Amino acid sequence: MPPTILQVSETEDVEALLARAARVVLSGGVVAVPTESFYGLAVNAMDGQALEQLLKVKKIRDQHPILTLIPSKEVLERYVLRVSHVAEVLMQAFWPGGLTLVLEASDELPSLLTAGTRKIGVRLSSHPLATGLARAAGMPITGTSANVTGEPPCLRAEEVLEFLGGGVDLILDGGGTEGGKGSTVLDVTVHPPLILREGIIGRDQLLPFIPGL
């Protein structure tokens, strides 16, 4: 069954569309939503069955921690064990935006989310639909790229429909995304912090905050 597609424009009641998409997420469904670079696949990050469905859609066999988008910085302490000083400084400088911080995960997080690493990558997105969906759901959502593993991420709603089809329950069509690099992933559980993936935020932008990176 093809997914529902909700066109988002200035003439639409965006809050109503986000509320509708949030209901899908909270019922265990998969929603495609635009982010700063690509479309992402959002499920309830606290729902183990929804995470299993996400892995099936992406055809992931070798599990890795799943990037998570939070509704606000204020809720972060519910899902991680601690936020270091360097993490606070980086959040102040780069959130909302394209920096994913790897932090020590709370024991309450589903094992599929952390892949048994006891760590979780979290980000506050600067895209209004991605963060708006997390806020409408009232909890963290996954933000992994909308694609089958090994294939290019989808840049437009039409590509999500073509390549993922019935694996997605709803698509928030916010137009084309910029593409390019994904978020930069920085592990701040180690000293000095370690760049796991250099993306939107370049090493040169991080250096003033982490000398010797």
Phi first, then psi: give them for residue 5, nearest 5 degrees: -115, 125
Tokens 């509704």 belong to residue: 71
Distance CA 6, CA 8 (A): 6
- Do 37 and 126 form a contact (C-beta atoms < 8 A)? no
**pLDDT tens, residue by residue, 141-170:** 999 999 998 899 999 999 999 999 889 999
Q: Which residue has the higher pLDDT, 26 or 10?
A: 26
Could you give the domains of the chain? 4-206 (3.90.870.10)
- Do 186 and 87 form a contact (C-beta atoms < 8 A)? no
- pLDDT bracket for residue 213 (50, 70, 90): confident
**pLDDT tens, residue by residue, 107-131:** 989 999 999 999 999 999 999 999 9
Distance CA 140, CA 69 (A): 6
Q: In this model, does residue 2 exceed pLDDT 90?
A: no
Pick from 92, 81, 83, 87: nearest CA to 114: 81
- pLDDT bracket for residue 60 (50, 70, 90): confident
What are the residues facing 99 on neighbouring strands?
184
Q: In this model, does residue 212 exceed pLDDT 70?
A: yes
Tokens of 109: 């997080």
Q: In this model, does residue 11 exceed pLDDT 70?
A: no
Measured between alpha carbons, how far is residue 96 from residues 7, 127, 150, 162 in Å? 24, 8, 28, 30
93: left (phi over 0), alpha (psi -120 to 50) or beta: alpha
Q: In this model, does residue 51 exceed pLDDT 70?
A: yes
